[in-house]
Structure 1
């Protein structure tokens, strides 16, 4: 048994594995909503190393060996898990490479060219993974149990040395491949969380290459009978691996968390506008308004909830249209021009002012205008991709001072 304390490795490996699986579950959920090969590959690429980190924790390493009766079996499982990550990373690198940068690729034939290259690379992993298993089982590395020092303990056995080198070479190739592509991919993206996430993946890949370098030096030294380099394998290498894994996980998680935060923010921001139109016509909603606590604790199905809220608001606008006074729209345009608002904010201020005025007119019993005399509102022809942002902007102006000013001008 190694005299290296195992508690820190348990904490770090289990922590990284758990964090990775949380991200993987989020990606699998996204894939279920939008089944696409890219999302599935991302989810599997995160799940494989997350499982490997969990199995690499000494407490589970020893438990698996005890249950199966095969010493150091967990090493094979962990390395095959990382090899699966390597295969997934190579696939992602190919999928994210622009068509014009692929050898002998035509833009119109990008999809077919991509999958031909992917199949060739996956074939290499499909052949070498069984080879690794055969080398491991024929190497006789089942004793002593070495959860933290397996590489340097058994690198003197030729089969195990080859097993370890194959693993490290595949891992190193995948890390440099995905990092190279990610840096190029990020430079073509607009500033935002997606760009930051892709760059974190690239940085994490390059950092994790330090693990490969440390391991190869330590394995080579052990095979040659040179002592004194074990710390590269047992101390420095795992530091590079853990830091690289955290950066890569953060890179995959960052854009997803940012998108979830934005959906939640939009869902809550639309509530005042939804309340206004719901108060005018309670038939618009499928269910009663959620309580304040339900609104605060809404964490699931936010995309569906926000989309439904937007559709109900749009229906409410159409319901209130007969009570919109032309002078209200004119007053809002005047106030917006005086305030120097851009086109998007001017449209939002106009709609907010018109809806508040229409609700007031409806509540006081004002007769609705006939269809030919109704005033159209700006924003109704907004493209679907921009519609949510428009409605959120309207909700922000609903009770703003400029809206109160426009209503005062209209009634004055």
Structure 2
């Protein structure tokens, strides 16, 4: 099971890490700040960790260096260096540069000591044979001190990273940075699950047993923790692009909803329509569409019968409609009635006071309301009210006002 996990999971994680690394290297061209450099370094060691952990690469790396199981020291050392990078990043986000540098020194020294100690203790298990699939289990049995040092350094610093990330997420200046830091913090349970599995391996090894039973859980936990953290670190960069993509998709959907209404209403008053420039972005075209729909309503105002609004209002209320949905039905009825009257050149005896029944406060609210208006155009309530008003109380117009 562990061999299958290593052969499938780690290459996948390695590919993801490589994509992230390439993205961060591209970002360095425009921004070489400490945070971006540290993030790039973190991505590099993430790539090293998962690549070398792949069984075939593990053996090749150890053979190339000429030291049995050197790949184990390399991957776990890379994880410690990643932890250092994350500590540096959080310190630079949380404090002024001078204070961050001072606070970073003892942390970096402790992690450096841990790597040196791991390197010294590693020699005790180097002759046990290559173990690409159960390196940690082997060390738990033969040199538990090595695994103990690694786990203490990793766990203590990861807990601090989770706590620091959560604290700074409450005051981070941007939405996506807050979300990213929370995601980094959410990786902590997976970290603790991994370290618990590894600590259990040390304990059971003292009784002549092995942790093979929960080794897949340990591998899955650490892979999940690292990838969740990495996603959290790059989310502030990717987030704005995600927001823009969502907004574009939302605008496309709104545009499709409003286009039939715009076409239907402006056919009667084509003079208000401005020729769309193909260079305009979708948001600009959508904004123009909203304005033209409202302008068309006012242009048709003199064809709107006051009784249309009354009938639509009464029928809608009987059906339990209220709020903006009610206002949309009333406006839809007035539009349909006005278009019908204009086609037959029949002026109403009493013009409605206003063509509008709602007054959204901004563009976002206007877009929401006009979508309701577009859907209300096909409502039976609106159509009945429009037909009822246009069937009575009309007088031929000598000259249509539109």
| Distance verdict in 2 for CA 1:204–1:284, change over 3 Å | farther
Q: How far apart, in 2, do the equivalents of 1:393 and 1:115 lie?
A: 52
Secondary structure of 2:274's partner?
helix
Q: Of the candidates 174, 183, 194, which is equivalent to residue 211 of structure 1?
A: 194
Cα distance in 2 for residues equivalent to 1:50 and 1:391: 49
Report the equivalent of 1:295.
Answer: none
Residues in 2 aligned to 1:409 and 1:52: alpha-carbon distance in whole angstroms: 75
TM-score, structure 1 as length reference: 0.58
CA shift for structure 1 position 134 = 4.2
- Which one of 320, 334, 341 corresponds to residue 321 of structure 2? 341
Matched, 1:411 2:387: no
Aligned to 2:133: 148
Alpha-carbon distance in structure 2 between the residues aligned to 1:333 and 1:405: 12
Question: Which digits, 9 at most, give the CA deviation of each residue in 1:301-332, with x for residues without a partner?
Answer: xxx74x44541332222331211344254444
Residues 209-254 of structure 1: CA deviation (Å, up to 9, x unaligned): 22111213334666xx65423337733422444566788899999x
Q: Look up the SS of the partner of 2:378 in the other structure.
A: coil
Q: C-alpha separation between the residues in 2 aligned to 1:400 and 1:48?
A: 59
List runs of 5+ in structure 2 lacking aligned partners: 172-178, 392-402
Q: What is the match of residue 235 of structure 1?
A: 216
Deviations 1:18-68 (A, max 9, x none): 67899x79x99xx9xxx9x9xx9xx99x97897577434435555666788
Q: Is the 8 A contact 1:333 1:346 kept in 2?
A: yes
Q: Secondary structure at the match of 1:391?
A: helix
1:186-335 matched pairs, under 5 angstroms: 205-219=188-202, 227-231=208-212, 234-241=215-222, 264=249, 267-278=252-263, 280=266, 283=274, 285-287=276-278, 305=282, 307-308=283-284, 310-320=286-296, 321-324=298-301, 325-327=303-305, 328-335=308-315
Aligned twin of 2:55: 58
Q: Deviations over 1:253-272 (max 9, x none)?
A: 9xx89997797466325413
Structure 1 counterpart of 2:378 = 399
Provide the rounded CA distance (Å) in 1 between the counterparts of 2:196 and 2:107: 21
Cα deviation for residue 341 of structure 1 reads 1.8
Are the equivalent residues in 2 in contact too, given 1:345–1:393 (CA < 8 A)?
yes
Q: 1:341 to 1:171 in 2, by over 3 A?
A: same
User: Structure 1, residues 347-383: CA drift from partner, whole Å, max 9, x if none?
Assistant: 3323444455566677x49799xxxx98352444424
RMSD of Structure 2 on Structure 1 (CA)? 5.6
- Asked which structure has the greater CA Rg, the reply is 2
Residues 13 and 54, structure 1, Cα contact 8 Å, conserved in 2? yes
Which residue number in structure 1 is paired with residue 396 of structure 2?
none
Count of residue pairs the alignment pairs up: 345
Match for 2:9 among 2, 8, 12? Answer: 12
2:152 aligned with 1:165: yes
| Alignment partners' CA distance in 2, 1:138 and 1:346 | 77
Instruction: Find the counterpart in structure 2 of residue 382 from structure 1.
Output: 361
In the alignment, the residues of structure 2 paired with residue 123 and residue 410 of structure 1 have an alpha-carbon distance, to the nearest angstrom, of 81
The TM-score with structure 2 as length reference comes to 0.59
- Do residues 81 (structure 1) and 82 (structure 2) align? yes
What SS class does the counterpart of residue 210 from structure 1 fall into?
Answer: helix
Write the distance in 2 (CA, Å) between the matches of 1:374 and 1:116. Answer: 67
| SS of structure 2 residue aligned to 1:6 | helix
